[in-house]
Amino acid sequence: MLIGCPTEIKPQEFRVGLTPNAAAEAVAHGHSVIVQAGAGVGAGFDDAAYIAAGAGIVDTAAEVFARADMIVKVKEPQAVERAMLREGQLLFTYLHLAPDPEQTRDLLASGVTAIAYETVTAPDGSLPLLAPMSEVAGRLAPQMGAWTLQKANGGRGVLMGGVPGVGPAEVVVIGGGVVGTHAARIAAGMGARVTVLDRSLPRIRHLDEVFGATFTTRYASRAATAEEVARADMVIGAVLVPGAAAPKLVSRAQLSDMKPGAAIVDVAIDQGGCFETSRATTHQDPIYEVDGIMHYCVANMPGAVARTSTLALSNATLPYMLTLADKGWRDAVADDPHLRAGLNVHAGKLTYRAVGEALGLPVTDTDLLAA
């Protein structure tokens, strides 16, 4: 199979879909690899490293899309990239289709087969290709929130850890999954007083058993969430419904109960955001104010630490990429129901139920396609 990796073109996105080591593994499996010139530079990989791995370097994204059987990326294809996709081609990347009807329509029209990192599952029900970026985003969230809290950025001017005689910041994390756990750990490590809200009692018990008094846990009833949000200096939105649009857990009306200059960090923004007032921003222009509350809603947070993120993502995606290349997508998803869960689009058909429900589109059963 010919595997192609274009340069990411989403604003301020420095990650790359293939590392030189991943390219070398694909070549060792008997596949060919082409990489767009300069694709890895933002993550610290020059063209020479790819050539040494056995990959070919091509000048343009158009050549990558025209020649490759499988396109491996990081972020969802932008409009100009979607126009280059074709029937019979395999796209392997993050998609986040539920809040993105335009992308969904374009993928359906292209005839491409698209497997989304974020909906591939593991036997234990976890999301192995989303987890590494969730870990990165979770660890970044308090750091970005602390920056947003600085007075020069419109925030309250509160230091996360306080100082002797002055209390620390109050941080509330909504969601106790991978993102929330990592966010809570880092925020607590910065000296903040942290509360994690979640609706799963087993998850709350697990967090309590593992982390003890590092941070506080609380059941996320509507009343408890409203109470915690009102007293917080920073609220980190870390909820996820796999493949579906994020639920709106904090309304605009609730902003009036928050402290002026408090910071919201919406890590769920890729799936539409979990605050009513959230809208996607970029690293170049990351924050905005609504009713006195500062919002940080960058849709590709891990891109800020591109090298760490690229290496972590490649560690997770490489085995799946090799399986798809070795077997072909149809046999690969027929043999593995967890990889089949990643199939979102095929030949003009939508194949992921949560996306269909979010966008009001018909869905085709993936079992029929894999048969």
Among all residues, which ones are annotated catalytic?
A: 96, 270
* Amino acid at residue number 137: A
Stated as kind and residue range, the H or E segment containing 356 is helix 353-359
**100 vs 96: CA distance, rounded Å:** 7
Label residues 45-74 b or e (16+ Cβ within 10 Å = b): bebebbeebbbeebeebebbbeebbbbbbb
Q: Which residues contact 253 (CB under 8 A, 6 or more apart)?
A: none
Residues 6+ apart with CB under 8 A from 28: none
Rg (CA), the chain: 21
Taking residue 360's Cβ as centre, other Cβ atoms within 10 Å add up to: 7
Instruction: For residue 94, give the nearest of 129, 43, 141 by alpha carbon.
Output: 129
User: In this structure, what token pair is assigned to residue 258?
Assistant: 């928050």
Report CA torsion sign: 86, 87, 90, 91: positive
DSSP 176: -
Residue 143 CB: number of other CB atoms within 10 A?
18
H/E stretch holding 324 reads: helix 306-327
Residue in this structure with the two tokens 């709106």, named with its chain if needed: 248
- Residue 112 CB neighbours (<10 A): 23
- For 263, counting Cβ atoms within 10 Å of its Cβ (0-12 exposed, 13-18 middle, 19+ buried), the class is buried
Distance from first CA to last CA of the chain, Å, rounded?
22
